[in-house]
Each structure stands twice: as C-alpha cells, then as structure tokens.
Structure 1
Amino acid sequence: MDVSKFSQLLAKITRTTSTQKCARSIRVALQSSGAKIQQHPVAASDWGNTLQKLGFTKIMPQFDRPQKGDIYIIKATSKHSYGHIAGYSGSDWVSDFKQRTYDVYKDKKVTYEYYRLPN
C-alpha cells in the first residue's frame, strides 16, 4: 500500500459533514492506494483485524503527533453502534468528511484503537 497515495486521496475529501459512510470512504482510499482487501467488515468499529492483515500495527494513540497514513477507530457505543474510522492525510483527520478534530463524538467514554504502517 502506498501511504502517500492514501494520504493524497484523503486530502481530496472536502465535505465538512458526515454522510455516515466512514468505513466505506476509508476502504475505498485504502484500495485505491494499493491495499488488497478480500473481505471487510461493514462496521467501522470492526476494522482492526482487517488493518492488521494489511500490515498496520496497533499502537498507543498518538493524536498529538500523528503521521501520514495513521488510522484510528472509535469502538461502537450505545449511541453509535457502528463506531467510526478515519485516516490522517498529513494535515487533517478525514473519514467521509474532513474532520475538525479526531474527537468527533465529544464523549470521554469512547475507546480508541490507533494503527500505523511500519516504515
């Protein structure tokens, strides 16, 4: 997978509101940048194993110093049964829209998973 291409594809997403299709948006960007995805979950919160099969490593969240191509997942909650997934373009967190911050749920009780491709 080409991290630069993935980041460029994310940067082209300019919507400012969600379409509720974050997992689809990230999947398309991953596939368009060379990721071979055979089967994939529908829910964003279930994408961790798929990312690891693609070579991503689960690491401690690093929202204060993200790197191009990093991906985070918000696990499902009672209010958001599908969770959320977004990638870092090099300047912004992007899912199906350009986010103002990683903290899209504004809920202190959410569980984050954070993934990075090794160099």
Structure 2
Amino acid sequence: MWDAKVAVAYLDKHARSASHGKCAAYVRKAIEAGGVRLHRHTSAKDYGESLIAAGFAVEEASILNAGDVVVIQPIAGHRHGHVAMYDGAKWVSDFKQRNGLYPSESYRRLTPAFTIYRHP
C-alpha cells in the first residue's frame, strides 16, 4: 500500500544540500519506503515505465500533491535525465532543489520534456 507521507519523509531525510548524481537511486528508495516496489534502472529517464507498472498514472493537473514524481528527459551533458519527488513545498531528488522542477540552470535554460506521475 502506497504511503506518500512516508516516501516524502524518507526522501527529505536523506537528501543532501547539493546534487551528487544519484537522483534515480534516492527517489527509487523513497518510493520503496512508501510501500511501492519499482524495477531498477540505470537512468532516471527510464523510470516512467516502472512507475506505471507500480500503479502510478500520468498526472496532467496543475496542482501538485506530495508524493508526485517527475521524470525529466536528458539534455546535453546529462544523458540519464532526472527524476524527483514533490514533498508538498519543493522538488527533492538526491538534493533539495531550490529552483523548482528543473534541477539546474542548464535544465531550466533548455526546458526538456517531462512527465509527472501520481499514485492514486
């Protein structure tokens, strides 16, 4: 049974102040702490299928909920893309993102495609 509060608490507790390139592992572990098992992937960009298989659905609403997960496609220099979870106030991956959905200036400048997933 999915518990978004447990997943968010796990991620907030373990996230660092700056990225160290482990977004997929941190977010996967948080989702699993929340009660949903995911297939493991090397690249963050590949987690969409696993989220769908685990009961998440693509979310198109503009209002975010704690526990929503974003999968962002790759950009030059970041071939694995990015994944993060919304904690109710900010996006968190392996670090607490200070500037919204995109994790860095290069992502904000290039605005690659992304998909938001929500567990019902």
Which TM-score applies when normalising by structure 2?
A: 0.87
After TM superposition, which residue ranges in structure 1, 4 or more long, deviate above 6 angstroms?
none
2:44 alignment counterpart: 44
Distance in 2 between the 1:117 and 1:20 partners? 25
- State the Cα RMSD in Å: 1.5
1:70 alignment counterpart: 68
The count of aligned residue pairs is 115
Gap runs ≥5 in structure 1? none
1:83 alignment counterpart: 81
In structure 2, give the amino acid aligned to 1:56: F
Which TM-score applies when normalising by structure 1?
A: 0.87
Distance in 2 between the 1:61 and 1:78 partners? 29
CA displacement at 1:92 relative to structure 2: 1.6
- Greater fraction of residues in helix: 2
CA displacement at 1:36 relative to structure 2: 2.1
Distance in 1 between the 2:49 and 2:15 partners? 28
Q: Report the secondary structure of 2:108's partner residue.
A: coil
Distance in 1 between the 2:29 and 2:65 partners? 20
CA displacement at 1:32 relative to structure 2: 1.5
CA displacement at 1:97 relative to structure 2: 0.2
Deviations 1:13-48 (A, max 9, x none): 4522101000000011111121123x3211000000
